[in-house]
Amino acid sequence: MSGAAQQEGRYDAIVIGVGAMGSAACYQLARRGKRVLGIERFGIPHQMGSSHGHTRIIRLAYYEDPSYVLLLRRAYELWHEIEAEAEEKLLYTTGSVDAGPEDSWVFRGSWESCKLHDLPHEVLTGAELHRRHPGYRLPKDHLALLQPEGGFLTPERCIVSYVEAAQARGAVVHAFEKVLEWEPLEGGVRVRTDRDTYEAEKLIVSAGAWEGELVDVLGELCVPERQVLAWLQPTRPEHFRPENFPVFNLLVDEGRFYGFPVFGVPGFKFGKYFHLNETGPADRIDREPHAYDEQVLREFAGRYFPDGSGPTMNLAACMFTNTPDHHFILDVHPEYEQVVLASACSGHGFKFASVIGEILADLSENGMTRHDIDLFRLDRFSPGHDRRSGPEPASRERNGRVHSFPRAEDVRPFW
């Protein structure tokens, strides 16, 4: 062990990746009295992964699978807890809209989750939604599920709040330190970085788009994908303020899109799920937005949000990290019980970071959690396992090899 590691001693847990999930895990472990080391290869916070961009949607109505709703209830509680500790507002309530054709999986999935979990909601036609919220111009025959508790989180501030709260409880957090390798030991792990070597009883790997590079069993399951966001200046700004404009998920002819009111940047923010289907190693993803990216997004805004499609204020590229079924991976390593895995949130994970931090701390402490994470277990990808997946996957090529991966337009809820 190196001099620095000897000086700091053996940790109870090391967390690789101090973004959304990792920062929450550091906090949850530290508040339980654990000696924690968080290691982040970039800054805290940073813009190289998936946890930035001023706003991230949070919503209770969940079309992806109704079983997420119970986790979301706890996530809301924990977001409010860290708000109180940080003495800073992190969660803004605007209401949420999930809309599409009447028989679409986005609308019907959200409606089913509301009915199953007795969530307050309204069902509006596209015309009724426009009268209620004039910024929206959806087809009149589309249906919209309006749930009043949806809204957005401020991701950079959420991460900073968790890191500062963890540090206040004794956690050690290192930024700009790249993990080169880790290895299991009898009763623990050793982690080697470009600066030092450390040992701990437990390891949590929450490295986002780099997860597959650090954990061999995830190499084929965690696929980084380029994503692009646009912020357009509204021509009717009053229609796109947080008090007048719910966050949205829309399924329309052009694809599935999501968006936010104006906040933090003088523009209405939105993006297309899976954008142009560009996948590859995290370090080789194109980080620059281009004119063709802007055109895709502006065509959508011009059709469905014409009062929001003024001059472009900003464009940004980031990453999703997708699993084959677009559900998360939250589990203990199949070979090393001292290693916990968390990744591949497939473009919809940030809202869960608060409760995932709690789950990771549980798994690290005793290998189990009170939360239902059956949907996220790694063994669902084993041959012959019932993965609750609906459609047959399509093939995508990555790094010269073909991987089984569903088309975004084919993914359906799994009840």
| Measured distance CA(342)–CA(212) in Å, rounded | 11
Structure-block tokens of residue 280: 């590859």
pLDDT greater than 80 at residue 90: yes
Q: Which amino acid is at 331?
A: D
135-182: pLDDT as tens digits: 999 998 999 999 999 999 999 999 999 999 999 999 999 999 999 999
Vertex 190 angle, CA 187 and 196, to 5° = 150
What secondary structure letter does DSSP report for 311? S
pLDDT of residue 8: 55
pLDDT of residue 398: 27
pLDDT greater than 50 at residue 212: yes
pLDDT of residue 117: 97
Average pLDDT of the chain is: 90
High-pLDDT (> 70) share of the chain, %:
90
111-141: pLDDT as tens digits: 999 999 999 999 999 999 999 999 999 998 9
Q: Beta strand pairing status for 11-16 and 172-174?
A: unpaired
Q: Which amino acid is at 129?
A: L
pLDDT of residue 274: 93
pLDDT greater than 90 at residue 3: no
pLDDT of residue 293: 97
Of 49, 380, 335, 27, the closest CA to residue 182 belongs to 335
| Measured distance CA(277)–CA(272) in Å, rounded | 10
Give phi and psi for 2, each to the nearest 5: -75, 170
pLDDT greater than 70 at residue 103: yes
User: Residues 67, 125: contact at Cβ < 8 Å?
Assistant: no
User: Residues 247, 241: contact at Cβ < 8 Å?
Assistant: no
Q: Which amino acid is at 136?
A: Y
Q: Provide the β-strand partners of residue 197.
A: 192
pLDDT of residue 386: 57
Vertex 250 angle, CA 245 and 251, to 5° = 165
Which domains are seen in the chain, by residue range?
Answer: 3-50+156-220+325-381+390-410 (3.50.50.60), 96-149+223-322 (3.30.9.10)
Q: Could you tell me the pTM of the whole model?
A: 0.89
User: Residues 63, 72: contact at Cβ < 8 Å?
Assistant: no
**What mean pLDDT is predicted for residues 228-252?**
98
pLDDT of residue 408: 35
High-pLDDT (> 90) share of the chain, %:
84
User: Residue 237's CB: how many other CB atoms inside 10 A?
Assistant: 17
pLDDT grade, residue 68 (50/70/90)?
very high
